[in-house]
Amino acid sequence: MYFGLKIGANAIISGAPQYFLGNYLTDIPEKKETFEGMVGKGTTYSVSDLNRLLKDKIYEKKGCQTQFYVHFSTKEHTYKEHIADLIKDLKAGGYPLILDEHEYLRHQEVATYFPPFLQRSLKKVNKGVKRIMVQKIAVLGTCFSRNFLNSSDYFNPEYKKHYSVSFTQFHSSMITLITEPFFL
């Protein structure tokens, strides 16, 4: 979401996103290595810095017409911890929203419920676009984001007729994503 706003994407499609990244990366000791891998060891970035990262970008770009497609469940823990506040801030920022609300209990169920929403959302985003060639897309997210673009029978065996994945990145370094480019 942050990166989509940063580059001025027309649409951002997300499944059960973590809004307060600092909280998410420090809620259990097992994530310490991921946290340090994303922000660096001994860094000046704090939990509160990461928690404000996306919120600040949302309000910085307030009024832009980036369409947000957000899938979530009101019954699993990330809704109260992240998604309710995200939706509130997106609405306050005046962003167009398409919400896909479900009531599954475990966050892992995103893997089942998000891919159909992603497919429907991509069709809406591409509506009116003349299909001369396969659409190139980039995925910046988690394995749940990438599973839609898996050609096994379980996921989406015919996705290559419509989309070409030109870039995929998972568990990205926040330093890399938020640093302005520089040239040597």
pLDDT digits (tens, 9 = 90+) for 49-104: 889 989 999 999 877 888 999 999 999 999 999 999 999 999 999 999 999 999 99
For residue 165, the cross-strand partners are 137
Under a CB-based contact definition with an 8 Å cutoff, are residues 158 and 164 in contact? no
Over the stretch 110-125, which tens digit does the pLDDT of each residue have?
A: 989 998 998 899 888 8
d(CA 163, CA 149): 8
Q: 108 to each of 17, 112, 126, 132, 173, how far by Cα in Å?
A: 12, 8, 28, 37, 23
- Residue 21: partners with Cβ closer than 8 Å, 6 or more residues away: 50, 51, 53, 54, 174
- Residue 84's nearest CA partner among 21, 24, 23, 19 is 19
